[in-house]
Amino acid sequence: MEILHSKILGEEQPFIILHGFLGMSDNWKTLGTQYAENGFQVHLIDQRNHGKSFHSPDFDYELLSQDIVDYMDHHHLDSAIVLGHSMGGKTAMHLATSHPERVTKLIVADIAPKFYPPHHQDIVNALDKLDFEHISSRTEADEQLSQYLRSFSIRQFLLKNLYWVEQGKLGFRFNFDVLKNKMEEIGDNIGPLAIYDGPTLFLRGDRSEYIMPNDYPEIKKHFPNAQIETIDNAGHWLHAENPKQFFEKSFAFLNS
């Protein structure tokens, strides 16, 4: 059994953080450090096929949530607070509804319990066109990506995953060959009867369309004790776009 890679910060109350699609634990380092300085033992996790964790041809939310159970067993964590963003939020929801005794509090960042049709095709297509045989620097990788992706922040987010596979050859840490064929699984929903009645906070970006007011009844159906809060001046990457308010609202919930 392979155990997920993580960075552990701080001591006291266990707090697991799960990144989104094509992300990694490093995306949460700044906020993770803040939580760690306020009485939490923060586990910044790389999910399978992401970051420094193992690669596998198998990829769905049942496996992703079981990976967290295995990780918790390995680190002797009976239970933990769990925060997940986007794809990580789906993993967190699946974990909380299938293993409620392992999740003391749940925070879901900008994703609802519903099916999302594949919608990252522009990113997947751009990554597919990268030719690492002829790229020898991050600057060159960015130049190639910029022909297909205009957003500087999205390109920077993706390029964080670059590393030297061997001398003179760059590659991505995420398992792109598997992930590009798992877009249906990434959009998948939790089960129709899945329920977690522990304390739950859904955070949505005011400029994001991932959680809309018509999703609230579905959220309440699966998570009857859910609060839903909005982060101002933020889209889907709300934790990066307004980290101050994200921390304030999540920390208030953790202390409630």
Query: Is 78 one of the catalytic residues?
Result: no
Rounded to 5 degrees, what angle do the CA atoms 167, 57, 129 make?
55
Query: Is 177 one of the catalytic residues?
Result: yes
Give 43's strand partners: 8, 16
**What integer is the mean pLDDT of 82-93?**
98
Question: Catalytic residue among 78, 177, 206, 232, which?
Answer: 177
So what's the pLDDT on residue 222? 98
**What integer is the mean pLDDT of 24-32?**
95
Q: Report the chain's mean pLDDT, rounded to a whole number.
A: 95
- Residue range 214-244, pLDDT digits in tens: 999 999 999 999 999 999 999 999 999 999 9
Domain boundaries, the chain: 6-116+188-254, 121-179
pTM of the model: 0.95
Report the relative pairing of strands 80-85 and 13-18 from DSSP bridges: parallel
Q: Write down the architecture of domain 6-116+188-254 according to CATH.
A: 3-Layer(aba) Sandwich (3.40)
Question: Catalytic residue among 6, 25, 86, 250, which?
Answer: 86
Q: Is pLDDT at 136 greater than 90 in this prediction?
A: no
**What integer is the mean pLDDT of 52-68?**
97
**What integer is the mean pLDDT of 169-173?**
91
Q: Please, what's the b/e burial string for 77-104 (b: 16 or more CB within 10 A of its CB; e: otherwise)?
A: bebbbbbbbbbbbbbbbbbbbbbbebbb
**What integer is the mean pLDDT of 115-141?**
88
* C-alpha distance across the termini of the chain, in Å: 37
So what's the pLDDT on residue 149? 87
Query: Is 197 one of the catalytic residues?
Result: no
So what's the pLDDT on residue 134? 87
So what's the pLDDT on residue 215? 97
- For the record, the structure tokens of 119 come out as 């919608």
Task: Tell me the pLDDT band of 120, cut-offs 50, 70 and 90.
Answer: confident
Question: Catalytic residue among 5, 94, 236, 239, which?
Answer: 236
